[in-house]
Amino acid sequence: MTPKASRRLLLIAVGISLLVHAVLLGWLRSPFAVRQSDAPVVTIAHARIVRITQATPVPHTPAPQPSPTARGSAPPRPVATAGRGVAAAHVTPAPPTPTPTPMPPVAAASPCRRPSAPAGLESTPAPAAIPAEARAAATNGTSAVLVHLDASGSVLSAAISGSSGNPSLDTVALAMAKSAVYVPAYKDCKAVASDYTFAAKWVAW
């Protein structure tokens, strides 16, 4: 084989080899290739730009402190200001009004138990024995006995002032009136002599 033919054969072999490599390279890359149509697409519909401004803090002003008053110094006294040509006069406060001394309480007089009241009956004795003729008469009525009392309530005298219609029952009522205990009458907180009417009511049995 001539040198010229050998060179041509070598070029053809090199070209075939390059072609085979290019085909193999393209086949290997095709599974991993990402098509442009399959790539995700992001669409922005609206966009707003917000500007954030930092607020400026307000400076804190400390409250004024009152000036301390010197310990032991007396408070200022009021001074009346006079007009032109008149001297200023100091105003002196009026002296305090003295507190009146309370008077001792006056003991109130104790009230009496019975300032003014009529005589009363405190207790009545048991009735005396009723005579048989009085029971048999079956009398219904009231015997009234007028009793005269002294200032201590003791019986001075007694007499029938109203009859029941049966003298025996009136006698029993008179004995009961004399044996009763009385409370004297009072006038202006003082016991006085008085009269009391003792009444005995009779019912037939």
- Whether 13 has a pLDDT exceeding 80, the answer reads yes
d(CA 110, CA 106): 12
Q: What is the mean pLDDT of residues 167-174?
A: 91
Question: Which residues of the chain form beta strands (DSSP E)?
Answer: 79-80, 89-90, 120-123, 141-149, 155-162, 181-183, 185-187, 190-192, 194-202
* Amino acid occupying residue 92: T
Beta-carbon count within 10 A of 118 CB? 13
**Residue 202: pLDDT band with limits 50, 70, 90:** confident
Q: Which residue has the higher pLDDT, 139 or 84?
A: 139
Q: Which residue, chain included where needed, has tokens 């053809």?
A: 12
Its pTM stands at 0.45
pLDDT tens digit sequence for 36-88: 444 444 444 444 544 555 556 566 666 666 555 444 445 545 444 444 443 44
pLDDT tens digit sequence for 98-108: 777 777 665 55
- Cβ pair 176, 127 in contact under 8 A: yes
d(CA 120, CA 198): 10
d(CA 197, CA 158): 9
- Which helix or strand (DSSP H or E) is residue 173 part of? helix 167-179
Locate 14 and state its tokens.
């090199």
- Whether 200 has a pLDDT exceeding 80, the answer reads yes
- pLDDT, residue 93, reads 60
Instruction: Give the three-state DSSP class for 182.
Output: strand
- pLDDT, residue 112, reads 72
What is the percent of the chain with per-residue pLDDT over 90, rounded to a whole number? 28
Q: Which residues contact 187 (CB under 8 A, 6 or more apart)?
A: 116
d(CA 124, CA 182): 9
Q: Which residue has the higher pLDDT, 106 or 185?
A: 185
Beta-ladder partners of 196: 147
